[in-house]
C-alpha cells in the first residue's frame, strides 16, 4: 500500500504520474480512516475537479464499505459550495446558469451598454465570438478573486482603453446577474468564501467536522478554490490534508487552473511532506495511446525495454502464447512508467509513408463507393442468362443525358 493513514499526521502532497494509482491511493486512505475509526464518513471531505471523477471515487468507496451508510462528502468544489450555500444561506430565488444562459446574459448586457462605454469595441458588440471572449475573461477574473471595482481602479490607473472596456463589461455583467438573482459556477466558490469569512461560527464547525480532507487532481485547482481550501484547512493548524496531482497533466490552463499551486504554492503555504508514486500499474493498452502500444507490442519493445521478467501485460498476468505456441515471459515485478516510456521511445515509429498510403487507399475506396452508388441510382437493372443457366443481374447505364458525371459536375454549354 503506497499510503498509510497512520503516516498522515499533517499536510501531505502526493506527486504521481498517469497510471500510478492516484485515485486508488485516496480510496485506500478513505477506507483505512473509516475502518480504523480515525474518522467517520461524515468527517472526511473529498474534493475533485470533475463530476465524473467524484462519482468514480464514491462508487469505489461504496463497493469497499458496503456496511457503512453514513453521510458522505464526496463532490467537486462547485457542488460542495452549492451544498454549503443551500444549507447555511438558502435562497429559493437563486438561479444557477449554465454556459448557454451565461452567453445569453452577456449578449443582453452588451446590447444594453452605452456606446461610449464600449469605445472602439462598439463595432463588435453584437458578435457572438466577442461575447464568448468576454465570458472567458470574466471567468478568469472570478477564479482569481478579482472584484469588478478592483478591476475598474486598475483600468483607470493603467489608462488602457481596452482594459476599461473589459472592466466596464465585467461590472455590467455582474450587476445584471445580481439584479436577476443569478449565479454562475464561479460565483458559487466566491459566495461560499464570503459566507465562511463572514460567519466565523460556521467556519469553526466545518473545521472541527472535517478531520481528514482529500483532494484529487490538485493540478486543476484555481486560486479561488485554493483560497477556499485554506479556509477549511488553515495551514497554522497542521490539518490532515492530502492533495494528489501531477503538474504535467494540467490541461485546463485556459480555464484558469494554475499548476503552480501544486508545485510551489502548496509547499509554501503548508510545508509538509511530499511523496512520489512512480510505479505504473496500468497495462500497455492503458498506459499510452492505442497506436503507440500496438506498435510496441508488435515490435516487442515493451518486453525488451523492461527489466527481466517484466512485460506490458501487467503484474502477475499470464500473456497469451505467440504463433509458435510458446508462451511469453510473465511479469514478476511492477513496470515503472519511466521504463515503459524508454522502451517505447527506443523503437522506431511507424513509417509516415505507410500512413499516407493507407489514407489514400481509404479515400480511393470512398470515392469508388460513391460513384457506384450514383450508378446504382441512375442505372437500370437488366437480366441475362449465364452459361450455367442461372440468371445474373447487371447495371446498364442510361442515356448520356443522365450520365453520373452530370450529377457530380454538370457542364455548361458554350
75 and 212 in a single domain? The answer is: yes
* Residue pointed to by grid coordinates 471595482: 149
151 and 200 in a single domain? The answer is: no
318 backbone φψ class: left, alpha, beta (φ>0; ψ -120 to 50) = beta
Q: Each residue of 65-81: pLDDT tens digit?
A: 876 666 889 999 999 99
29 and 84 in a single domain? The answer is: yes
105 and 175 in a single domain? The answer is: yes
Residue 366 domain-assigned (yes or no) = no
- Which of 138, 163, 180 lies at the terminal end of a domain, its last residue? 180
For residue 147, what pLDDT is reported?
93
Which regions of the chain are under pLDDT 70?
A: 1, 67-70, 159, 250-257, 281-414
For residue 167, what pLDDT is reported?
92
Rounded CA separation 156/398 (Å):
76
- Which of 180, 206, 237 lies at the terminal end of a domain, its last residue? 180
For residue 360, what pLDDT is reported?
66
Residue 147 sits in which domain range?
A: 95-180
Among 120, 95, 60, which Cα is nearest to 180's?
A: 95
For residue 19, what pLDDT is reported?
77
For residue 237, what pLDDT is reported?
92
CATH at 14 = 3.40.50.300
For residue 134, what pLDDT is reported?
93
The model's pTM: 0.67
Residue 297 domain-assigned (yes or no) = yes
Rounded CA separation 190/245 (Å):
24
Write the CB contacts of 146 (distance below 8 Å, at least 6 apart in sequence): none
Among 182, 145, 152, 180, which Cα is nearest to 166's?
A: 152
For residue 120, what pLDDT is reported?
81
| Burial class for 237, CB neighbours closer than 10 Å (0-12, 13-18, 19+) | exposed
For residue 353, what pLDDT is reported?
57
Residue 63 domain-assigned (yes or no) = yes
Amino acid at each position: 500500500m503506497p499510503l498509510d493513514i497512520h503516516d498522515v499526521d499533517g499536510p501531505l502532497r502526493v506527486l504521481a504520474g498517469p497510471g500510478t494509482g492516484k485515485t486508488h491511493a485516496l480510496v485506500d486512505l478513505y477506507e483505512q480512516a473509516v475502518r480504523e475509526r480515525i474518522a467517520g464518513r461524515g468527517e472526511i471531505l473529498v474534493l475533485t475537479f470533475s463530476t465524473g471523477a467524484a462519482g468514480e471515487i464514491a462508487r469505489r468507496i461504496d463497493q469497499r464499505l458496503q456496511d457503512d451508510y453514513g453521510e458522505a462528502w464526496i463532490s467537486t468544489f462547485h457542488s460542495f459550495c452549492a451544498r454549503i450555500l443551500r444549507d447555511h444561506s438558502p435562497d429559493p430565488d437563486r438561479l444557477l446558469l449554465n454556459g448557454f444562459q451565461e452567453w445569453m446574459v452577456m449578449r443582453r448586457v452588451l446590447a444594453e451598454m452605452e456606446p461610449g462605454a464600449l469605445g472602439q469595441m462598439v463595432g463588435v458588440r453584437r458578435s457572438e465570438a466577442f461575447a464568448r471572449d468576454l465570458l472567458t475573461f470574466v471567468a478568469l477574473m472570478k477564479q482569481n478573486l478579482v472584484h469588478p471595482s478592483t478591476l475598474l481602479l486598475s483600468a483607470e490607473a493603467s489608462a488602457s482603453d481596452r482594459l476599461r472596456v473589459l472592466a466596464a463589461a465585467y461590472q455590467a455583467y455582474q450587476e445584471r446577474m445580481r439584479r436577476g438573482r443569478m449565479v454562475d459556477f464561479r460565483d458559487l466558490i466566491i459566495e461560499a468564501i464570503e459566507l465562511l469569512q463572514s460567519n466565523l461560527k460556521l467556519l469553526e464547525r466545518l473545521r472541527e467536522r472535517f478531520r481528514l480532507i482529500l483532494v484529487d487532481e490538485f493540478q486543476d485547482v484555481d486560486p479561488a478554490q485554493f483560497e477556499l481550501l485554506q479556509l477549511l484547512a488553515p495551514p497554522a493548524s497542521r490539518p490532515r490534508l492530502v492533495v494528489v496531482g501531477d503538474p504535467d497533466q494540467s490541461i485546463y490552463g485556459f480555464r484558469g487552473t494554475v499548476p503552480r499551486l501544486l508545485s510551489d504554492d502548496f509547499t509554501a503555504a503548508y510545508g509538509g511532506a511530499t511523496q512520489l508514486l512512480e510505479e505504473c500499474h496500468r497495462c500497455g493498452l492503458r498506459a499510452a495511446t492505442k497506436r503507440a502500444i500496438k506498435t510496441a507490442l508488435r515490435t516487442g519493445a515493451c518486453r525488451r525495454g523492461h527489466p527481466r521478467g517484466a512485460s506490458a501485460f501487467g503484474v502477475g498476468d499470464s500473456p497469451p502464447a505467440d504463433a509458435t505456441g510458446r508462451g511469453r515471459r510473465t511479469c514478476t515485478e511492477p513496470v515503472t512508467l519511466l521504463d515503459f516510456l524508454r522502451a517505447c521511445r527506443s523503437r522506431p515509429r511507424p513509417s509516415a509513408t505507410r500512413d499516407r498510403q493507407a489514407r489514400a487507399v481509404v479515400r480511393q475506396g470512398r470515392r469508388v463507393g460513391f460513384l457506384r452508388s450514383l450508378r446504382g441510382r441512375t442505372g437500370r437493372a437488366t437480366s441475362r442468362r449465364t452459361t450455367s443457366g442461372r440468371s445474373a443481374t447487371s447495371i446498364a447505364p442510361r442515356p448520356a443525358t443522365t450520365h453520373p458525371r452530370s450529377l457530380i459536375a454538370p457542364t455548361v454549354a458554350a
